[in-house]
Amino acid sequence: MPTTLKDLGTAKKSTWCPGCGNFGILTAIKSALVDSGLDREQAVLVSGIGCHGKMIDYLNINGFHSIHGRVLPVATGITLANPDLKVIGFSGDGDCYDEGWDHFAHAIRRNINMTLIVHNNMVFGLTTGQTTSTSQPGFKSKSTPYGSITPPINPIAHALVSNATFVARGFVGETRHLQNLMVQAIKHRGFSYIDVFQVCVSFNYINTYDWYRQRVYKLEETGYDYTDRNKALEKSFEWGDHIPIGIFYKEERPTYYDNIPQMKGVNLAKSPTEIRDISSILEEME
């Protein structure tokens, strides 16, 4: 049965701060799930640890609240074991671009069939606002009281050079636009990735709603062609007074699962499990 907005609500009381950008992501994903016509039972959510991780509590869909930085290994396991499921991962900038950084490149280059949404608030929110690898130069926090001295990571550029098949950026102040990006990401076969500018009203006083509103513009309104990886890379470095949001790059390519001939038509989760006696093999190896 197609999912409705009502189906997706839960009775859990939100613990996000009033005005938090996570509310925008929640609103957008709910509408995107309805728009994409996905049955609730066809989807599985995976989240990391942080304020973003509470998405699992507020969406009435089977979910796995994993450990810090490990959204991608868990999501990879689920999608390979049961390719009939649509796996959607919610990660934080700290979760994905710091603690789980190595998984990012590898899930992308393998073209794991899943969607990854990164709540990029440029701080470790849940642990009270320390600097992350996307915090802007000079950003002052408890961990960098004199201001961040290292240049931030450019996750869009990294995704592109890792051979990503779907790379986009959204902003929580543009929920309709974000919802549309999410629908396209969900429909994409392969690894679809959206970095979302998610405002943290409690700990990031630089990258506020107004800061973004004065800078973001939509790529699709400029006649931009998202099929050219080199152009996308060039765009990914645009920062400052004008910051692009929208789809940077998109292509179709076989997924990791598609490239394993032994997996063709196999659904491990639905395969019969039997206990096999392997003692003779073990004895041979002694």
Ligand X SMILES: Cc1ncc(C[n+]2csc(CCOP(=O)(O)OP(=O)(O)O)c2C)c(N)n1
The SS3 of residue 91 is strand
Residue 201 contacts which entry, ligand SF4, Mg ion, ligand X, none (Cβ below 5-8 A, type-dependent)? ligand SF4
Output the smallest distance, CB 93 to ligand X, in A: 5
Q: Which is nearer to Mg ion, 50 or 246 (CB)?
A: 50
Site for ligand X in 35-64 (CB under 6 A): 48-52
Under the binding rule (CB under 6 A), the answer on residue 197 touching ligand SF4 is no
Residue 202 contacts which entry, ligand X, ligand SF4, Mg ion, none (Cβ below 5-8 A, type-dependent)? ligand SF4
Q: Phi-psi category of 268—alpha, beta or left, where left has phi over 0 and alpha has psi -120 to 50? A: alpha
In 165-247, which residue ranges form alpha helices assigned H by DSSP? 175-187, 209-213, 229-236
Element (H, E) at 124: strand 123-124
Site for ligand X in 66-105 (CB under 6 A): 68, 92-95, 99
Output the smallest distance, CB 33 to ligand X, in A: 20
Q: Which one of 17, 67, 153, 161 is in contact with ligand SF4 (CB under 6 A)?
A: 17
- Per-residue b or e along 144-174, where b marks 16 or more CB atoms closer than 10 Å to that residue's CB: eeeebeeebbbbbbbbbebbbbbbbbbbbbb
Say how far apart CA 41 and CA 64 lie, in whole Å.
Answer: 14
Residues that bind ligand X (CB under 6 A): 48-52, 68, 92-95, 99, 119, 121, 123-127, 132
Residues that bind ligand SF4 (CB under 6 A): 16-17, 20, 22, 51, 121, 125, 200-203
